[in-house]
Amino acid sequence: MSTEVVSSSIPRRSVTMSKIHPLAPISGDEIKRAVALLRAQWPANTDIHFKAITLLEPTKAEAIPYLNAEKNGSQVPHIDRRVFGNYYLRRTNKFHEFVANLDNETIEYNVRLGDDFHAPIDGEEIFAMEALAMADEAVKAEIAKLKLAEGTTVIMDPWPYGSDGANDEARMFMGFLYARPPNHANEADFNHYALPLPISPVMDATARKVIRVDRLPTGKDNTIKETQPWKPQPTNEYVPEHQKLRTDLKPLNVSQPEGASFTVTEQGTLNRLQWQKWDMQVGFNQREGVVIHNVNYDGRQLFYRLSLSDMNIPYADPRSPYHRKSAFDLGDAGAGSMANNLKLGCDCLGSIHYLSATLSDDTGAPMNMENVVCIHEQDNGISWKHTNYRTQRAAIVRNRELVVQTIITVANYEYILAFIFNQAGEFTYEARATGILSTQPIDENTEVPWGTVVHPGVLAAHHQHIFSLRVDPMIDGHANRLVYDEAYAFPRSELNPHGTGYYTQETVVEKSGGYNLDFDKNRTFKIQNTNVRNPINGKPVAYKIHAPPFQKILADKDSFHYKRAEFSDKNIYAVKYREGELYAGGRYTNQSRGGQGVRGWADRNENIVDDDLVLFIQFGINHTPRIEDFPVMPCEMIKVTLKPVNFFDKNPAIDVPPSTQEFNRSTLAAEAKVGTNGEIACCTPSSAPKSNL
Amino acid sequence: MSTEVVSSSIPRRSVTMSKIHPLAPISGDEIKRAVALLRAQWPANTDIHFKAITLLEPTKAEAIPYLNAEKNGSQVPHIDRRVFGNYYLRRTNKFHEFVANLDNETIEYNVRLGDDFHAPIDGEEIFAMEALAMADEAVKAEIAKLKLAEGTTVIMDPWPYGSDGANDEARMFMGFLYARPPNHANEADFNHYALPLPISPVMDATARKVIRVDRLPTGKDNTIKETQPWKPQPTNEYVPEHQKLRTDLKPLNVSQPEGASFTVTEQGTLNRLQWQKWDMQVGFNQREGVVIHNVNYDGRQLFYRLSLSDMNIPYADPRSPYHRKSAFDLGDAGAGSMANNLKLGCDCLGSIHYLSATLSDDTGAPMNMENVVCIHEQDNGISWKHTNYRTQRAAIVRNRELVVQTIITVANYEYILAFIFNQAGEFTYEARATGILSTQPIDENTEVPWGTVVHPGVLAAHHQHIFSLRVDPMIDGHANRLVYDEAYAFPRSELNPHGTGYYTQETVVEKSGGYNLDFDKNRTFKIQNTNVRNPINGKPVAYKIHAPPFQKILADKDSFHYKRAEFSDKNIYAVKYREGELYAGGRYTNQSRGGQGVRGWADRNENIVDDDLVLFIQFGINHTPRIEDFPVMPCEMIKVTLKPVNFFDKNPAIDVPPSTQEFNRSTLAAEAKVGTNGEIACCTPSSAPKSNL
């Protein structure tokens, strides 16, 4: 791929940039420098358990002049490089945050947080907790009661402990156990989720010891039985070598003989991505994974920052310990640190560009995350078509999309997360939920209304997935407002004598708060800039939000689930921008208590009209498992789309070249190949062989 | 493409079929025979204006034994071929229906319908009405008042007249006029919708004369002004030769080097389509366009018949004559008769198989409709993925889909309609709305709340698109029921001490009626067969319905819009099957009065539990036009998906071969080509050139 700017409509930068772009994720070298600065604050040989070490993004007051200068080709101001990090003194509950200034080589901030704040889980802990539990005598004693067959492997997935207010001040893990039977002993990719065991060790993460071994309810109610000998159950594998694979699927290849239409220009660790009038910068961090900065279209400002803010997955089973299952996959773990290494030809088709990233491990060492983002184009059918019925001439354009995708694995579960841009000026955030259901043992011939039996002896509890997409807009500038349109029937009148008429009405959202959709009114939220008017119809330029409905969090308002999942009860939270308010559930969600997230920010009741508006757009699934979701779940897909409304002066995809056979080179299904010039002409009728039975 | 059955899981039929399959659309020869039989009923030289001549599908009582015999390979019963048709005695209001039996060469039925029934519009009329109006002296006189520049062409699009109860008993058309200025005189594909004129001729379709010339309101209210000299406005073209086309879009080709994975077997004019365990028969008719019959998956029955039943597009402008604009694109015109001739490489990518059809013209002559259906496969991203975090091994499968697509043009507007099947046993109906907005003149500097100015002097009125998908299920047999699940929070109790638990509850829909979604309860409708239980969890086999919410019809309950659009007020209508009840708005929607459609069928309050259930699933858009929707509209896409729920015993896509580079042959964006064996190995990290600005 060339690094040349391919479109003449995108101005080439003419001024030398400062060495490191202020939005560039920190490099491995910067991680080392920040760690060295922080270590110097402590006595030598202090054992520090690092959590995240990440770019502290510049304030908007700093970044906007920089980005404007960059865009205009003028001299960019200097912005100090700052690193944000957090850490424990290892094996203590002393949780700290720090900020290192790499320009003046100082630690600007280094404080211990209160005991209520718990760091997210990291990779070191996940393996350590499993090893710890498996070596624990009390756990072994409880497992022994299962009388598992000789050679059975017991596996433990650690889970964030959650919050219920009952002796849960310490940072803990709960573990769920599964069996791998002796005849699968050497299969590391055996699906242990098909064989859950009724034992749940609880570990103190600080003391690194098992503090309790819970037994799981397996019946219709919350009775906890003594651990009984385990009755072997059938297996249920997802890896291909255990399947009788279909043999009748023929290849479908996406080829881009002239390469991709996008350009990636590396700005250090930041990637400027240009495609079809879009221009943006792609970052990556431990918490959010992909972050899209500074999105412009044809030179016009659209979004200052786009990211997945968090997601919450509360489970339906009311019984202990399941009542604590409520994961925040970004806040409790991290979309960056859980990102998959993507493989060519496996995770996307066509001409792919991969981005790698550098995060840090628990020792503060840089950790390379290879190919955690893929960028590619895809065809999404027809963009627009019209056939003149008088002449029979069709004008038709296809809908090419640009996809910036990452895939995260959070223990059993996967999310495929994509930022998608098209040629009609539309941005879509797409989330696909897949992976393996979180399972638990259930007695034979037992049904419960909070879950589905997906395998003999295996219950998959209902759960909600509630995502929060953070959109920091700059629709033709940073002073934006949130409004919504609704449609109402006209009453009968002289104007509307036949009762057929209706009208739309716009309402301005005056104050920060949580707001809901209302499909019965066709309520449609728009981000508007009233200072810029459409040249044809005089309407304020705007982008509207298409978000699907979802059932809000079901846990009651006094529950910790509800208090912690601050974004889970409204379709949209609209707030006035403040520095650092990126995470809708609060910065630290692990065993959180609530009160640190977007619900509180909204309660400030601030003016958000023609101000620096930030939106958190929620979407989700109430996942009632089907047996079809096991042993691995066909993707459930949800999309949020932002579309221009009176922002352009006509269809922005009107100038996309027409869809022609010469360009697309399709074939008749009867034919193996199309000529090199696509000489199976457009309009040739099908000549597939015919047969009558 | 081979006509061999490609999957061993699909049994090959071993018994000779009767000559013509009972579900096969009628052929040109059959049209001629039916017409000859009908003509023989009338004196020689009676001038008959035919409307539709189409297969009268066999009753279920006949068809089911046939299909069962066909499936089992036993001798199929004989079913008489019957043709349904309707016609006028030309230039009269004498509208008739007939049924011809081609086996015994009789007319079994031939009756004149009441004066309230009006036939749909046909192609002959569309051109005749325009010519008639343009030649009319009163129309010319009114146009003269516009003082159009010499050489201006005036164009008229005829519209169904609609119903308002005011002297609207006769079958009429209303026309909307547009200008093509002299400097575009030779451009037949000029976009006249950008230049609407304030005159609307009304034609008597029977007498074939202009009976009135309405003037259009162009201000803020319903004042009708004297026709004023027309002020020239700018043009707004959609054809590519008038655009400055983008030059930076590179080709994206879909190649299927081994051909398509589906098999089409012609059964006369019926097409048996087999793909990835799916087996179905594809028909086509004048009214519905594509009809999918007899859908089986892996030998199990799923759907007896799938079709778009109708759609309604009521407009918001309350003023005369716009208050009558409420189109039924299937009932008033026909998805078959309006179907586009699809072009290779334009309307879909990859290996395409086209189906052609035979309809009839107004003289009763067969009319070839070339390439009105395309069948192809598409890749829709990832179907499922799981990465074992312990081994880092990813198992991943792509989501291949089979698409049966047709595109219809209804004057200014287009719909892209697709039946989509995937490897996880899911069926999706996808509708994309595109084409050109219906426009009307508006005074300068005028805004109205029922429309958007999309071009100088041009208003696009708000309108609703309400689609009705007819699903005749046979989930493991014909006795099915409709149920819905809802999710509720548990009250606090000993079982739910922390207020976190919730449960789902199933409700049986006992009686025919109209039912709504409720996202706040996560209400999910399922088609269930309680006689067949899942072997693992004992739940009844079912398919659930994912349908998006939409604002129901806004016209008030006493309006003709509401009465006519019988399906427009509920998300789902569930009825007990009766022969011939295919069209949710009634058989004849043109100037209809209501009372002939699904609302009335539902009102029979019949038992629908474990009976022959039929569903009409509604979905739609309240389209508030944006300027971005002009001069041609980027697709607005809506989908309804039916997914198995406890129908299979695990993920039905578990046996799809893994997604590998050898199979998919992707490339790094930096590279032009992949080797013939896909030798850019899976897992090779990106080697794209790097540059620092």
The yes-or-no verdict on residue A674 having pLDDT over 60 is no
pLDDT confidence tier of residue A2, bands split at 50, 70 and 90: very low
- Residues A340, A408 contacting (CB under 8 angstroms): yes
Given the DSSP bridges, would you call strands B427-435 and B439-441 parallel, antiparallel or unpaired? unpaired
Mutation for testing the B interface, residue in A192, A237, A338, A500 having most B CBs under 10 Å: A500
A544-564 as b/e: b if 16+ CB within 10 A:
bbebbbbbbbbbbeebbbbbb
What chain A residue is nearest to B634 in terms of C-alpha separation? A384
Average pLDDT over residues A261-275: 96
Q: What is the pLDDT of residues B642-688, one digit of tens each?
A: 999 999 999 999 999 999 998 888 888 864 334 444 444 333 333 33
| Backbone CA torsion sign across A209, A212, A217, A218 | positive
Sheet holding A82-89, edge to edge: A48-55, A82-89, A95-101, A106-112
ipTM: 0.94
> Are B667 and A395 within 8 A, CB to CB?
no
The verdict on a CB contact (< 8 Å) between B688 and A354 is yes
Instruction: Please report residues of A whose CB lies closer than 8 A to that of B316.
Output: 487, 501-503
For residue B413, indicate whether it is catalytic.
Answer: yes
The string of pLDDT tens digits covering residues A332-344 is 999 999 999 998 8
Q: Which of B549, B635, B653 sits opposite A384 (nearest CB)?
A: B635
Would you call B501 and A382 a contact, using CB atoms and an 8 Å cutoff? no
pLDDT, residue B682, reads 34
Distance of residue A41 Cα from the nearest chain B Cα, in angstroms: 34
CA distance B141 to B395: 73
State how far the alpha carbon of B561 is from the alpha carbons of A90, B567, B588, in Å: 72, 11, 14
Please report which confidence band the pLDDT of residue A236 belongs to, taking 50, 70 and 90 as the band edges.
Answer: very high
The pLDDT, as a whole number, for residue B605 is 97
Closest CA to B292 of B414, B58, B473, B544: B473
Question: Closest chain B residue to A448 measured between Cα atoms?
Answer: B503
Q: Are B202 and B216 in contact (CB under 8 A)?
A: no
pLDDT tens per residue across span A59-76: 999 999 999 999 999 999
Read off the pLDDT of each residue in A37-48 and give the average, rounded to a whole number: 97
Summarize pLDDT for B561-610 with one digit per residue, the tens: 999 999 999 999 999 999 999 999 999 999 999 999 999 999 999 999 99
What average pLDDT does the segment A650-678 reach? 78
Q: What is the pLDDT of residue A255?
A: 94
Task: Return the number of CB contacts < 8 Å for A and B.
Answer: 691
Name which of A221, A260, A447 is nearest B250 (Cβ-Cβ). A260
Q: What is the pLDDT of residue A13?
A: 39
Question: Do the chains contact at A667 and B500, CB–CB below 8 Å?
Answer: no
Residue of A5, A222, A324, A346 best to disrupt the B interface, most CBs of B under 10 A:
A346
Query: Residues of chain A with pLDDT > 70: what percent?
Result: 94
pLDDT at A397: 97
User: Does the pLDDT at position A136 exceed 60?
Assistant: yes
B260–A250 C-beta distance less than 8 A: yes
DSSP E strands, B361-412: 366-387, 394-410
Which residues have C-beta within 8 Å of that of residue A571, sequence separation ≥ 6? A515, A516, A517, A547, A549, A550, A617, A618
Q: Specify the pLDDT at position A346.
A: 84
Contacts of A671 in chain B (CB under 8 A): 351
**pLDDT given for residue B543 in this prediction:** 98
Helical packing angle, B123-134 and B137-144, nearest 10°: 60
pLDDT at A123: 94
Considering B413, B415, B573, B588, which one is annotated as catalytic?
A: B413
Which residue from A7, A501, A650 is facing B316, i.e. has the nearest CB?
A501
B342–chain A nearest CA distance, Å: 7
- Cα separation of A222 and A228, whole Å? 16
Q: What is the mean pLDDT of residues A86-106?
A: 97
Structure tokens at A518: 């209302």
Averages of pLDDT over each 10 residues, chain B, 693 residues: 34 49 97 98 97 98 97 95 98 98 97 96 96 98 98 98 96 98 96 98 97 98 96 97 97 95 96 98 98 98 98 98 98 97 89 97 97 97 97 97 98 98 98 98 97 98 98 98 98 98 98 98 98 98 98 98 98 98 98 97 98 98 98 98 98 96 86 42 34 31
Q: Which residues of A are catalytic?
A: 329, 413
Give the tens place of pLDDT for each residue, A505-525.
999 999 999 999 999 999 999
Q: Which of B389, B462, B490 sits opposite A411 (nearest CB)?
A: B389
Distance from CA of B453 to the nearest CA of A (A): 6
pLDDT for residue B687: 35
Contact flag A667-B349 (C-beta cutoff 8 Å): no
**A390 Cβ contact partners less than 8 Å away, ≥ 6 residues apart:** B188
Chain A contact probe: residue of B237, B390, B500 with most A CBs at under 10 A? B500
What is residue A345's predicted lDDT score, i.e. its pLDDT? 80
Is the CB of B395 less than 8 angstroms away from the CB of A265?
no
Coil, strand or helix at A474: coil
Contact A353 B221 (CB under 8 A): no
Task: Give 3-state DSSP helix, strand, coil % of chain A, rounded to 5.
Answer: 10, 40, 50
Spell out where A411-462 has E strands: 413-422, 427-435, 439-441, 451-455, 458-461
Rounded CA separation A346/B680 (Å): 12
Average pLDDT over residues A391-413: 97
Subunit contact A554:B488, Cβ cutoff 8 A: yes
Is A622's CB within 8 Å of B655's CB? no
A-interface mutation test, from B163, B243, B448, B498, most A Cβ less than 10 A away: B498
**Using a CB-CB distance cutoff of 8 angstroms, which residues of chain B are in contact with residue A398?**
349
Q: What is the pLDDT of residue B495?
A: 98
Q: How far apart are CA A597 and CA A591, in angstroms?
A: 14
Which residues are within 8 A (CB) of B550 and not within 5 positions of it... i.e. 6 or more apart? A519, B466, B571, B618, B619, B620, B621, B622
CA–CA separation, B492 vs A314, rounded Å?
A: 17
CB atoms within 10 A of CB A90: 15
Instruction: Give the other-Cβ count within 10 Å of A365's Cβ.
Output: 13
